[in-house]
Structure 1
């Protein structure tokens, strides 16, 4: 009887032990499940960037270059008035393309159209021109520059009236640019402007004028 009782007691203990072990394991898993979920979620958040971060890191490849940046292109519409300190006047409009060869130094070129009011008969003229412009004092929203260039002007009559109908138009001056809107600048200044045929014709009666101008510069 004693041996049977002992065997019965041991058998009961053997049944209870697995049950208690399983209960403990289930309890441990139940308690650790929230922590494991939190660790998994934190790891996922660390690996996967948010959509706002992705948007912040996307570069704006189509944004216009900073004014005066090397390799950037702009275009300019310019209007001007010239006077020879006497009775002859010239109104001129121009469209220039500007290429910045280095920072703050541009090569500008384009067509010019002019109306000449002069003694001996008024006339129209047109032709190509080019200039070099150096923004020697450049800031984020303004600059001061010097420019110089030359053009070739074909007119319907002689300019001046005692000159010729094909002339060279060298010019040199100073000016300033001011930002008036995002990527838009006003350019204004003063130049000494000359017109003559450089002795390629029999008559080389040239004219010197002061030129006042203003223009609008925008990126391509």
Structure 2
């Protein structure tokens, strides 16, 4: 299969900073899915790892974690997905990435790709969405609003007087956080943005107030 990788952490303007390479197609085992990659996105984690981590034991390092693709094979213990499923995921930083035609990924960190967005749109979402969700509902301890028939008995959402300030609300994580906070909590959402077009974007995402 075709892939893009590197052996050494080099400045990006160096010829061998990233290389076109050929690798064997991996085989799925255990809980792994073999995914035929259809779309990827570049995340800040890609650039940080490329600058700091080299390939080991003479093997190329493959970057890329946010991805969308089709399941083409499943491991003998996989039970959540089947061949033909369209999936998306943020991948595993300790494993070979998605800058390749095929990738192995543990099914427990995979989800079904929403049909409402294209492959390209979906590939831009996994890591930013996970980060925003964890910040809002795990770290800040907001309770997500759920449909009445899904809400656990006795669960009460956040009070109407809650407020959340999102710095850089027009950015990758900020734009997702703005939407989650507005749609899944009762909080008043305040976002910061500088350029006029960024301010308009944050307002379109649902922020109640935008600060320059």
Shorter-chain TM-score range: under 0.3
Higher alpha-carbon Rg? 1
Greater strand proportion: 1
TM-score between the two structures when normalised by the length of structure 1: 0.24
TM-score between the two structures when normalised by the length of structure 2: 0.25
